[in-house]
Structure 1
C-alpha cells in the first residue's frame, strides 16, 4: 500500500496498518493498494489535524489551583478552631 499526501508519496508499506505523523492542517490523503494481479485501488480521504492547545491545559490547571486554594481557605480555619477547642477543653 502506498500513501500520498497532496500528491507526494509519504510511505510505502506491506503492513495492514499504517501509522502516519501529520502536521497541523488539512491533508488530502490517497491510499493506493496494488494486489499484484493488475488491480490497483485508490481511496481518497481528507483529514484535518488540529493542534492541541497548551493554553487550555494551563487554564484548567490554574482553575484547579484557585479552587483548591479557596477550599483550603474555607476548611483550614474551621479545622484550626476545632483543633484549638479540643486542645483547651472547650466544647462547641
Structure 2
C-alpha cells in the first residue's frame, strides 16, 4: 500500500492513480517472483511520473474514466448476453 503525504505540484488524484497503475502494470511484467510479484522500494523510487499542468491532468483523467465506464457497461452487457444465451440453450434441450 502506498501513502503519499504531499506533492510538489498541483495534482489531480485520478490522473495520478492512472499513471501509477500504468507504471505498476509495466513493472509487474519485469518484477521477480512467481505468482506474487514484488516491486521493491528501489524500483518504486525510480518511477518517473510526467506531471502536465492541472487542466491537462483533469482532461486525461476524465477521458480515461469515461473509457472505464464504457468498458464496465460493455462487460455488463456481455454478461447479460451470456446469461441469455445460456437460457436459450437450456430451452433447446428441455
Q: TM-score when scaled to structure 2? A: 0.34
Would you tell me which structure has more strand in proportion to its own residues? 1
Larger of the two Rg values belongs to structure: 1
Using the size of structure 1 for normalisation, the TM-score is 0.35
Greater relative contact order (Cα < 8 A, sep 6+): 2
Which structure features the higher share of helix residues?
Answer: 2
